[in-house]
Amino acid sequence: MHHEIVFDNVFFEYPDKSFALKNLSFTINIGEKFAICGNNGAGKTTLLRLLLGLEFHQKGKIKVQELELNRDTVREIRKRIGFVFQNPDSQVFSASVYEDVAFGPRNLGFSEEEVEEKVERALEIVDLSEYKEHSPFRLSFGQRKRVAIAGVLVMDPAIIILDEPFANIDYPTRRSLQRILEKDVIEKGKTLIFTSHSRLLIENWSDNVLFLNKGVKLFVGSSSKLSDFPETEKFLGKF
Ligand SMILES: Nc1ncnc2c1ncn2[C@@H]1O[C@H](COP(=O)(O)OP(=O)(O)OP(=O)(O)O)[C@@H](O)[C@H]1O
Ligand SMILES: [Mg+2]
Lowest mean pLDDT of 28-37, 58-67, 84-93, 223-232, name the range.
223-232
Domain map (residue ranges) of the chain: 5-236
* Predicted local confidence at residue 228, as pLDDT: 78
Which of 82, 88, 117, 89 has its CA nearest to residue 102?
117
**Where are the strands (E) in 76-233, listed by range?**
81-84, 159-162, 191-196, 208-213, 216-222
- How far is the CA of 79 from the CAs of 2, 121, 156, 202, in angstroms? 19, 21, 10, 27
- C-alpha to C-alpha distance for 127 and 215, rounded to whole angstroms: 37
Binding site membership of 229 for ligand 1 (Cβ less than 6 Å): no
Judged by DSSP in three states, 143 sits in: helix
H-type alpha helices, 68-154: 74-80, 97-107, 112-125, 141-153
Number of the ligand 1 atom closest to the C-alpha atom of 55: 1
126 touches 180 (CB < 8 A): yes
* Predicted local confidence at residue 48, as pLDDT: 96
Does residue 239 register a pLDDT over 70?
Answer: no
Burial 71-102 (b: 16+ CB within 10 A, else e): eeeeeebbeebbbbbeebeebbebeebbbbbb
Binding site membership of 43 for ligand 1 (Cβ less than 6 Å): yes
Binding site membership of 45 for ligand 1 (Cβ less than 6 Å): yes
* Predicted local confidence at residue 76, as pLDDT: 95
pLDDT in tens, 201-224: 899 999 999 999 999 999 999 998
From 24, 44, 211, 235, the mutation candidate for ligand 1 (largest count of ligand atoms within 8 A of CB) is 44
Number of the ligand 1 atom closest to the C-alpha atom of 49: 18
89-93: average pLDDT: 85
* Nearest ligand (C-alpha, residue 36): 1
* Predicted local confidence at residue 91, as pLDDT: 85
Between 44 and 91, whose confidence is greater?
Answer: 44
* Predicted local confidence at residue 154, as pLDDT: 96
Binding site membership of 71 for ligand 1 (Cβ less than 6 Å): no
178-197: average pLDDT: 94
Output the residue whose Cα is nearest ligand 1's atom 17. Answer: 45
CATH 3.30.565.10 fits 5-236, yes or no: no
Output the residue whose Cα is nearest ligand 1's atom 7. Answer: 14
Output the residue whose Cα is nearest ligand 1's atom 30. Answer: 41
**pLDDT grade, residue 199 (50/70/90)?**
confident
- C-alpha to C-alpha distance for 34 and 141, rounded to whole angstroms: 24
Binding site membership of 126 for ligand 1 (Cβ less than 6 Å): no
**What pairing do the DSSP bridges indicate for beta strands 81-84 and 159-162?**
parallel
pLDDT in tens, 133-180: 999 999 999 899 999 999 999 999 999 999 999 988 889 889 999 999
Q: With pLDDT > 90 as the criterion, what percentage of the chain qualifies?
A: 78
List Cβ neighbours of 102 (8 Å cut-off, separation of 6 or more). 94, 115, 116, 119
Mean pLDDT estimate for the chain? 93
From 17, 18, 48, 90, the mutation candidate for ligand 1 (largest count of ligand atoms within 8 A of CB) is 18
* Predicted local confidence at residue 15, as pLDDT: 94
163 touches 184 (CB < 8 A): no
* Nearest ligand (C-alpha, residue 42): 1
pLDDT in tens, 5-46: 999 999 999 999 999 999 999 999 999 999 999 989 999 999
